[in-house]
Amino acid sequence: MKARISISIALALLVFCAGYAALFIAPDEATMHLIQRIFYFHVPLWTAMTVVLSIACFSNIAWLVSRRPMWDLLGASSAEVGVLCCTGGLITGMLWGKPVWGIWWTWDPRLTSTFILWLLYISYLLLRELIEDPHRRATLSAVFGIFAYLDLPIVLLATTLWPRGQHPQPVLFGGPKSINHTMLSVFFLCMVSIVLVMILILADRYRLEKLRFEADELRVEIESREMDAQSAPPTRGIVGRGMAHE
Amino acid sequence: MNGLRAAFTLFAKECRLEFRTRELLTATVVFSLIIIVFFNFAFDPTPAEARRFGPGLLWIAFFFAGSLMVNPSFAREQTNDTLDALRMAPVPSFAVLAAKILANLVFLSIAEAILVPVFSLFYNVSLVGILGRLALVLFLGTVGLVTTGTVFSAISAHARMRELLLPVLLLPFLTPLLIAAVSTTISLFGEAHELDRTWMIFLIGFDVVFLTTSWLLSDFLAEG
Amino acid sequence: MASAAAPSVAKPGLGIRFERIERRFGALIALRSLSLEIAPGEFVALLGHNGAGKTTLLRITAQLMRPSRGAVTFFAESTDQQVPFRDVKGRTGLVGHSLLLYDELSAEENLTLFAKLYALENVPARVASALQACGLSSRATSQVRTFSRGMRQRLAIARALLHSPSLLLLDEPAAGLDRQGLEWLGATLKRLRGDGCTVIMSTHARNESLELATRAIVLAGGRLQQDTGAGGDLRQLLESMRAEA
């Protein structure tokens, strides 16, 4: 418990420093000025999303191989957190885009793929919602999760190859051409802090799911013992081969 | 039983079932036809526009109709729990899946074979000289569509609201396939009538990746 | 009715061991910590009220679902000779709650399909004799959806027996059968018992085929409540259950 609180406080401080650095310490960028600072959050969110969704895919595979409930819980939690990072990435992307190009949205590879990813993992969560049997839910969503994850690089590739003569193609990713030393340091600080925060959120989410799962197990166990106590004691019939229980 | 023979036996069964009722085929063709006709009313295209947007229209029609068409693959097996009977038989689970993928491929291809000439007729888009290559592109795109569609049908068969869930799962997933198929078809319909190599490789790659993944995960699908 | 031309039991019956089987469906526990051993060739009557877990146990035995906990193993003759799951699959027959047949295919087409999937030899002859045995030869080419309840059930049983299983699982097989069908079922089960096939039949106490059983097991609330054991006296148990019902 204490460790959790200390870690949370430490990370909060780290994020505060990163935010401060991004807003005030990093030098002003030549063309985009203030709005460019979103880059310090946008790219790390994208990275965090990739990390978290990779954990999701790994959990899906681990569930199919081992059938241990923790992998199912981790898979679901990381998909949720992944959607969170994705949403953050989309919003920061749009906020960056508006002042720079004058429009809220463009179909450039990064934004487009992020949006499709978002749809994919929302549908993963929807699938989980709509299957009632827990065992089936875990297996089938794991299969879908693996498919979804394999689709990510394919989606990115397709949107990159896709010719889009009509739309502006700003370089959203990569930031300024010549990376200033300070900018680089601030960038890494932000990267580390945001990825760590997302992992902390994931850990918390997973913990919540695990507690819920354990509470369910306990409740079912209690109910079953109550039922046993209520029903008539088992009649000792003619017991031969085979082991009668209790 | 040998997997290949089992797959063919089951494929024959799927075809026999469908051709007896022809419900699926009819519905798919009619639905695609409606989309093609709506295009006219929604956009009132000039011949040049029809040629330009035609590929997109065709593929949208096939993707939407296709995503509805694959739903009964596994939903049908829930009447009388025939899927249980198949699961108990000593056949590899991929044989069951492959048979359905192949059957869906045949059905959707038949629908496409009907709709492409109709489209050509309605919008005065000439297919002379490109028919063979168009068939190839249609084939590759359809394989990708029915492979993942059939797998997702198996997944959503056990979920509530499965008729709505299946397109929701499938269509975002197939976005890269749509992009590839439309881009290839556009370059085919264009002035030079050429097949874009990059996109063709992409299409083949997509099909191979997801056919392989389906094969690897078929046991888990069957377990559901 | 005529006996089948095919060998009655391809290989000797299978034995099954259940070790602390548990099966959950979310909050519902269908089977709790069930341990049981069934020897090859036993004819087990599985009894109990609705919801006792009989169907779940049969489905786990048929390998249609895995237990949430515990292990199932199959063996031939003695428990040392374990038979792999894959081999057991082709030797198991199931007559379930559902029909397990395609409505839009004919009786002949249905049986031919499964005969091919089980890699049987001389398929047309096997199918013809199976149809004759269950009395459906005259309706061989009619679609199953035109069949009456009794005819469907007969075909379902014929389908389960087609590949001469060493392990036959029956979930209330008498349901819907008419007098003639019941006679055929009884005669068939008697023959199978004689050939050494392991049979597990879940049924109500009033079923006449229970006369053939060598052992009775009663489930209640997912647990094993009573077990007469092999060679135990079933009559007392059955009579008490019939009195209850």
pLDDT per position as a tens digit, A181-201? 777 888 888 888 999 999 999
CA distance A105 to B217: 37
In a domain, C21, yes or no: yes
Give the one of B9, B21, B91 whose C-beta lies nearest to C104's C-beta.
Answer: B21
And the tokens for A104? Answer: 């809220």
Residues in chain C: 245
3-state secondary structure of C21: strand
CA distance C143 to C109: 9
CA distance A12 to A10: 5
Mean pLDDT (chain B) is 92
pLDDT at C9 over 60: no
Chains touching C, CB cut-off 8 Å, 3+ pairs? A, B
In a domain, C46, yes or no: yes
pLDDT value at residue A237: 46
pLDDT, tens digit (0-9, with 9 covering 90-100), for B41-97: 998 888 888 888 889 999 999 999 999 999 999 988 999 999 999 999 999 999 999
Give the one of A123, A136, A146 whose C-beta lies nearest to B224's C-beta.
Answer: A136
pLDDT value at residue B193: 80
Q: Do A147 and B148 touch (CB under 8 A)?
A: yes
Are C201 and C214 spatial neighbours (Cβ–Cβ below 8 Å)? Answer: no
pLDDT value at residue A173: 47
Are B150 and B157 spatial neighbours (Cβ–Cβ below 8 Å)? Answer: no
Nearest to A161 by CA among A120, A115, A112, A89: A112
And the tokens for B209? Answer: 């990746």
Q: What residues contact C178, with CB distance under 8 A and at least 6 apart?
A: C150
From chain A, the residues in CB contact with C34 under 8 A are 245
In a domain, C121, yes or no: no
| Tens-level pLDDT at each residue, chain B (224 residues) | 588 999 999 999 999 999 988 889 999 999 999 998 898 899 888 888 888 888 999 999 999 999 999 999 998 899 999 999 999 999 999 999 999 999 999 999 999 999 999 998 888 888 888 888 999 999 999 999 999 999 999 999 999 998 899 999 999 999 999 999 999 998 888 877 888 889 999 999 999 999 999 999 999 998 86
- pLDDT band for A174, please (50, 70, 90 cuts): very low
- pLDDT band for A231, please (50, 70, 90 cuts): low
- pLDDT band for A221, please (50, 70, 90 cuts): confident
CA distance C173 to C70: 28
Could you tell me if B201 lies within 8 Å of chain A, comparing CB atoms?
A: no
Place of tokens 């291809």: B109
Q: Do A231 and C26 touch (CB under 8 A)?
A: no
DSSP C27: T
Mean pLDDT (chain C) is 86
And the tokens for C167? Answer: 């392990």
How far off is chain A from C68, nearest CA to CA, in Å?
Answer: 9
Q: What is the CATH number of the domain that holds C239?
A: 3.40.50.300
Give the one of B9, B82, B223 whose C-beta lies nearest to C100's C-beta.
Answer: B82
Nearest to B143 by CA among B184, B204, B189, B194: B204
- Measured between alpha carbons, how far is residue C44 from residues C74, C83, C227 in Å? 16, 20, 10
**β pairing state of C28-38 and C14-25:** antiparallel
Could you tell me if B197 lies within 8 Å of chain A, comparing CB atoms?
A: no
pLDDT value at residue C2: 44
Q: Do B169 and A116 touch (CB under 8 A)?
A: no
**β pairing state of C14-25 and C167-171:** unpaired
C18 DSSP β-pair partners: C36, C72
Starting from the edge strand earliest in sequence, which strands make up the sheet with C82-83, in order? C28-38, C14-25, C69-76, C82-83
CA distance C10 to C14: 11
Give the one of C62, C90, C104 whose C-beta lies nearest to B90's C-beta.
Answer: C90
Are B164 and B152 spatial neighbours (Cβ–Cβ below 8 Å)? Answer: no
Place of tokens 């559902």: C98
Mean pLDDT throughout A82-86?
Answer: 94
pLDDT at A78 over 50: yes
Are B145 and B99 spatial neighbours (Cβ–Cβ below 8 Å)? Answer: no
pLDDT value at residue A233: 55
Q: Which of A164-178, C4-18, C105-119 has the lowest mean pLDDT?
A: A164-178
- Measured between alpha carbons, how far is residue B70 from residues B75, B106, C217 in Å? 9, 12, 44
Give the one of C62, C89, C98 whose C-beta lies nearest to B90's C-beta.
Answer: C89
Chains touching B, CB cut-off 8 Å, 3+ pairs? A, C
All structural domains of chain B with their residue ranges: 3-223
Are A72 and A57 spatial neighbours (Cβ–Cβ below 8 Å)? Answer: no
Give the one of C100, C118, C159 whose C-beta lies nearest to B90's C-beta.
Answer: C118
How far off is chain C from A130, nearest CA to CA, in Å?
Answer: 14
Mean pLDDT throughout C214-220?
Answer: 89
Could you tell me if B132 lies within 8 Å of chain A, comparing CB atoms?
A: no
The backbone region for C76, taken as left when phi is positive above 0, alpha when psi lies in -120 to 50, beta otherwise, is: beta
Q: Quick count: other Cβ atoms within 10 Å of Cβ B129?
A: 10
CA distance C241 to C235: 10
CA distance C20 to A70: 22
Q: Which amino acid would we find at residue B152?
A: F
Are B140 and B207 spatial neighbours (Cβ–Cβ below 8 Å)? Answer: yes
pLDDT at C62 over 90: yes
- pLDDT band for A171, please (50, 70, 90 cuts): very low
And the tokens for A65? Answer: 């191989």
pLDDT value at residue A245: 39
The range of the structural domain enclosing residue C58 comes to 14-101+165-244
Number of structural domains found in chain C: 1
Q: What residues contact B36, with CB distance under 8 A and at least 6 apart?
A: B57, B58, B61, B115, B118, B119, B122
Cβ under 8 Å to C: A residues 134-193? 134-135
Q: Do B158 and A133 touch (CB under 8 A)?
A: yes
Percentage of chain C lying above the pLDDT 70 cut = 91
Are C44 and C53 spatial neighbours (Cβ–Cβ below 8 Å)? Answer: no
CA distance B207 to B64: 19
Could you tell me if A219 lies within 8 Å of chain C, comparing CB atoms?
A: yes
And the tokens for A168? Answer: 């502006």
Mean pLDDT (chain A) is 82
* Site from C59, C228, C235 to mutate, A interface, most A CB atoms within 10 angstroms: C228
Q: Do A123 and B169 touch (CB under 8 A)?
A: yes
pLDDT value at residue A178: 58
- Measured between alpha carbons, how far is residue C100 from residues B81, C85, C144 in Å? 5, 21, 11
The enclosing H or E element of C34 equals: strand C28-38
Q: Do B90 and C114 touch (CB under 8 A)?
A: no
pLDDT value at residue A172: 45
Q: Nearest residue of C to residue A217 by CA position?
A: C27
Are A89 and A49 spatial neighbours (Cβ–Cβ below 8 Å)? Answer: yes
Could you tell me if A123 lies within 8 Å of chain B, comparing CB atoms?
A: yes
* Site from A112, A130, A141 to mutate, B interface, most B CB atoms within 10 angstroms: A130
pLDDT, tens digit (0-9, with 9 covering 90-100), for C129-182: 999 999 999 999 999 999 999 999 999 999 999 999 999 999 999 888 888 888
The enclosing H or E element of A50 equals: helix A39-66
ipTM of the complex: 0.92
- pLDDT band for A222, please (50, 70, 90 cuts): confident
